[in-house]
C-alpha cells in the first residue's frame, strides 16, 4: 500500500482521502450507530412480544366454576396485555424517532464533509477580502 501511495501526487492523494476513504469511514460509522440504536431499543423484540403481558404480570384462572372470577381474571389479563402493548408501542415509536434523527444527522455530517473544502476556500477568500 505504501508503494501505491508514493506513486500518486499530493493532489490525487488528498482527493482520494477527502472524497473516497473518509466518506467510506463516515458511512461505516453511521451504519454502526443506526444498527446499535435499533438494537438498543430492541425494536424487533418489541414487535415480537407486542401483546405479551406487561412485566409478565398474569393471573391464573381459578379451579371450579365462578363466572365472576373468570371475568376478573380475563379483564385483569387484558389490562396487563394492553398496558404492555402501550408501553412497547411508545418504546418502538421512540426508537424509530431516534433512528430517523440519527439518519438525518448522519446525512448532514456526510454532506458537510463533501462541502467542507468549498467552505474552507470561501472562508479564506472572505478573510482575504476583509483583510485588504
Quote the CA–CA distance of 72 and 119 in Å, as a whole number.
68
Query: Looking at the predicted structure, is the pLDDT value of residue 5 above 60?
Result: no
**Where do the structural domains in the chain lie, given as residue ranges?**
22-131
Identify whether the C-beta of residue 16 lies closer than 8 Å to the C-beta of residue 8: yes
Q: Can you read off the three cell numbers belonging to residue 18?
A: 477527502
Report the length, in residues, of the chain.
132
The pTM score is: 0.79
Identify whether the C-beta of residue 38 lies closer than 8 Å to the C-beta of residue 99: yes
What's the whole-number average pLDDT of the chain?
91
Q: What is the pLDDT of residues 15-48, one digit of tens each?
A: 999 999 999 999 999 999 999 999 999 999 999 9
pLDDT of residue 27: 97
Q: What is the pLDDT of residues 76-122, one digit of tens each?
A: 999 999 999 999 999 999 999 999 999 999 999 999 999 999 999 99
Amino acid at each position: 500500500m505504501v508503494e501505491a501511495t508514493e506513486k500518486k501526487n499530493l493532489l490525487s492523494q488528498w482527493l482520494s482521502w477527502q472524497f473516497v476513504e473518509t466518506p467510506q469511514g463516515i458511512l461505516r460509522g453511521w451504519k454502526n450507530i443506526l444498527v446499535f440504536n435499533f438494537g438498543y431499543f430492541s425494536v424487533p423484540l418489541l414487535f415480537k412480544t407486542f401483546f405479551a403481558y406487561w412485566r409478565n404480570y398474569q393471573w391464573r384462572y381459578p379451579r371450579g366454576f365462578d363466572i365472576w372470577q373468570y371475568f376478573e381474571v380475563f379483564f385483569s389479563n387484558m389490562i396487563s396485555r394492553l398496558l404492555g402493548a402501550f408501553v412497547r408501542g411508545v418504546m418502538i415509536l421512540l426508537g424509530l424517532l431516534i433512528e430517523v434523527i440519527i439518519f438525518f444527522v448522519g446525512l448532514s455530517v456526510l454532506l458537510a464533509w463533501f462541502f467542507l473544502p468549498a467552505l474552507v476556500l470561501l472562508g479564506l477568500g472572505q478573510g482575504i477580502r476583509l483583510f485588504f
